[in-house]
Copies of this chain bind each other. A is one copy, B any other.
């Protein structure tokens, strides 16, 4: 029998200087996820109710949270680029690029590792990022070009490194195993956005999609601001440029690392 997730979802603790629309989107995500957990069972949250603009199925929990974010974006008069809805034009120079519910499977099941991740983009350039961890209210904020109060670990070599990865998939199993053998310790938390901020704050050394091309730009956008601000690097394992693009069918294999040498060693190992 599928049960409800009993734990509360707090409002995020945001710094005062977060862009108003980004803050509103993050608050809307927490409130909508709280309401969804209160109303629906785990199975109901996980039910696939549509196909998203990214070409993957949309769970009920994704839809409920994204709807709340879209409403916040409209209220704030900014555009939205998001996983399920695609590009929503509200005639603004500013676009929020958002992963409403990173770690959807965790979010639906009650594994307390799911996040809101978003950036403010102006003319295709991300100027500011916000990540919130929904079960705790922890937030990571970064403004492009400004220092942040956290730093990556500074590790430069894969030997001995703590690396998080997406779970193995058939197309990436060999690369997954190569990284596992070369690293000091692997984890699979199933939340790209959370795993990226753990690299940014120095809690793990790296995170990667080992070549399965699962990442969309909405999965990586927040990391692309947050991780460099903390001294780290985000790149694609196959060397493709990471671009904010409304075409959500584009895919990458993101590599997030404490330093450039570590990112490049991981990318080389993944791309074989």
Measured CB to CB, the residues of A under 8 A from B are: 1-3, 5-7, 42, 105, 109-112, 135-136, 138, 149-151, 153-154, 162, 167-168, 180, 185-190, 198, 201-204
- A5 x B203 contact (CB < 8 A): yes
Residue numbers in B under 8 Å from A150 (CB-CB): 3, 6
In the complex, besides A111-B203, A186-B188, 4 extra interface pairs with C-beta distance below 8 angstroms are A1-B151, A6-B149, A109-B203, A167-B186
Name the distance in Å between A181's Cβ and chain B's nearest Cβ.
9
Name the distance in Å between A176's Cβ and chain B's nearest Cβ.
9
Q: Chain B residue with minimal CB distance to A137? A: B136
- B185 x A187 contact (CB < 8 A): no
* CA of A6 to CA of B150, assembled, Å: 9
- B201 x A6 contact (CB < 8 A): yes
Q: Which of B42, B136, B190 contacts A202 (CB 8 A)?
A: B42
Q: Chain B residue with minimal CB distance to A162? A: B109
* CA of A169 to CA of B151, assembled, Å: 30
Can you name 24 A-B residue pairings with CB atoms under 8 Å?
A2-B153, A2-B202, A3-B150, A3-B151, A3-B202, A42-B153, A42-B202, A105-B185, A111-B187, A111-B203, A112-B203, A136-B136, A167-B180, A167-B185, A167-B186, A167-B187, A168-B180, A168-B186, A185-B190, A186-B188, A187-B188, A187-B189, A187-B190, A188-B189
Residue numbers in B under 8 Å from A42 (CB-CB): 153, 202-203
Residue numbers in B under 8 Å from A186 (CB-CB): 167-168, 188
* CA of A42 to CA of B186, assembled, Å: 18
User: 10 nearest interchain CB pairs?
Assistant: A110-B203, A188-B188, A111-B203, A187-B188, A109-B203, A3-B202, A167-B186, A187-B190, A3-B151, A136-B136
